[in-house]
Structure 1
Amino acid sequence: SKHLLSRKNVENTLHSNKYALTTFKAGIIVGSGSSSFEIIRDLVEKLPFMIAPKWLNTKTQPIGVRDVLSFLSNAIGKKELFHKSYDIFGPEILTYKEMLLQFAKVRGLKRTIVTVPIMTPKLSSYWLYFVTSTSYKLASSLVNSMGIEIIGEKSAINSMLGVKPMNYKKAVELAFVKIEQNSIISSWKDSYISSGNLQNYIHKYINVPSYGCFKDFKQRKVINSENTVNKIWSIGGDNGWYYGTFLWKIRGYIDQFYGGTGLRRGRRSPTELLNGDALDFWRVIYADKEQQKLLLYAEMKLPGEAWLEFKIEEGILYQTATFRPKGVAGRLYWYLVTPLHWFVFKGMINKIIEI
């Protein structure tokens, strides 16, 4: 397929007589941010019943992103690997259907999948495009490659580098440990700051997920930048959320009723926010007053994951509420609260920019 051929072209492009090249070739990489992983996640969490194309019976050997990183880091400086190519893969040969069902089991979801032989590659591409959050171009490329079995060629690379790849289910479980702790965003931040790289640009790279997400987006022209930033940094706790306070309180009571923290945690300081701070039923993921960006992660009881972001760029305040639903319940929840979101978030951003 063109997708797989492009990988080979990358290898050919990187090859040089001036430096040593070691190539590791993998099929499906299991980890947040991987296109295949995000598509599988979309399918499993959105569809209780799937009528799917026959390529779901194609076999492959998925590998966890942690194992990929182990291969890469352990290979550095190993002269015996120079100018060589190795396949890296997990211990199991699975069909895409088996991967979807195991993924569902890890997520605690019951899913039924029926494969049919009548879907052409073009129809399959449209199916992925409409059901998931991927682009049609990527969907088309993936469909063409998913019809081809990718079984790794065995070698001694595992023993040479001391890597014992985990099974698919374990890789999925660990991926969600990272996601639920929201450490994907924070680990990128920590690595940049600790190394000194991109110190002044990190705010541009810390962003919430986009695959399979609903968003409530608002923007307003900022009249007084300092005043607006101070209001953002004072939000929550005794200061409230500036608009629809009674609705925020009701949401807090509902959260407590279902075993959550509600609004009782408040905030550490009335005017300061630091990374890691609790803020009512949110957690501060990123707070940089100089760069005028605040990112919060929801710790309330939800059928999914949620983020709330404030940032000022070129005199414009951007306020974005993002929700990634888990299953049908998550999608129904979003549609149910959308009218309230429109009311509350519109009022909130208007109050924030007031002088």
Structure 2
Amino acid sequence: MDAQLIAVIVVIAIALAFDYTNGFHDAANAIATSVSTRALTPRVALVMAAVMNLVGAFFGVKVAKTIGSGIIEVPTGPGALWLVACAVLGAIGWNLITWWFGLPSSSSHALIGGLGGAALAAGVAVQWDTVLSKVVIPMILSPLAGIILGYLVMTAILWAFRRAHPGRVSRGFRWAQTASAAAMAFGHGLQDAAKTAGVIVLTLNITGHHEGDSIPIWVLMLSATFIAMGTYAGGWRIMRTLGRRIIHMTPPQGFAAEMTAASILYVAGMGFGAPISTTHTITSAIMGVGATKRFSAVRWGVAGNIVGAWVLTFPGAGLVAVTLYYISTLFH
């Protein structure tokens, strides 16, 4: 086995490690509301989320193409694989930092920040037009859409069931949350597993083992499997933040937030190939849903801490990637 092939395998392994951390970091996105309302037990919710993450990955080809060929130019030369490795390690580092503090930051934006930071350090061109149209603009619009649509969906539910018995409504929406949590987990797989697939394709293109932006089925299968494994491992710290600390969640609210977020993920991923954050989307949907009760029902201080983590994600992951890249230059 030649040295280049060994290096490719190592970089792919690092990408799959990121995929795994993405799974346990973002498991809360899919199931926190269902667990907090007792619609599902934690273990059943995690099994369901893992399975739907696996299935959703096969519908995220457009997102994978954006990550694999749309964020940075395909690098060349002896340091090219180091660039990808440092970018992904930067994202892993940021995931672990925010996981430790229980902050639901974006694994997606950590990966993109890591790619951008490592590319700038290596003198590789960043495709700013694509970053603006498919990352920055969706990053701004998706939380706004989550808040507005979450508010509207919850308002519609409150109006439709205004004369119904509260106990029966609550029981009914607990059952409905099984479907909405599954839809959210499917959207997470569609978005986040596909991003790792894009990184693997970028690695293969660098070394001539693949050409173009098509996504081989084995790459999707690997990415789907590792994010499903990570999801099953769970992310309990962040689950507490999303499920309990922003608002006190009821089953109708949980259903409204999950269906809102899932819809946005589908439109962005399958319609536009935009790698948006599942974290941004579900968190903003929870805020919009909570605001229908009363504005003060949302714990905006907690929400402010989360927004702070969002703002720091790009530069934070990028800085970790830059540091690692400069360290790596000592070895090649």
TM > 0.5 between the two?
Answer: no
Q: Which has the higher contact order (CA 8 A, sep 6+)?
A: 2
Q: Which has the higher helix share?
A: 2
After TM superposition, the score normalised by the length of structure 1 is: 0.22
Q: Which has the higher strand share?
A: 1
Specify the structure having the higher radius of gyration (Cα).
1
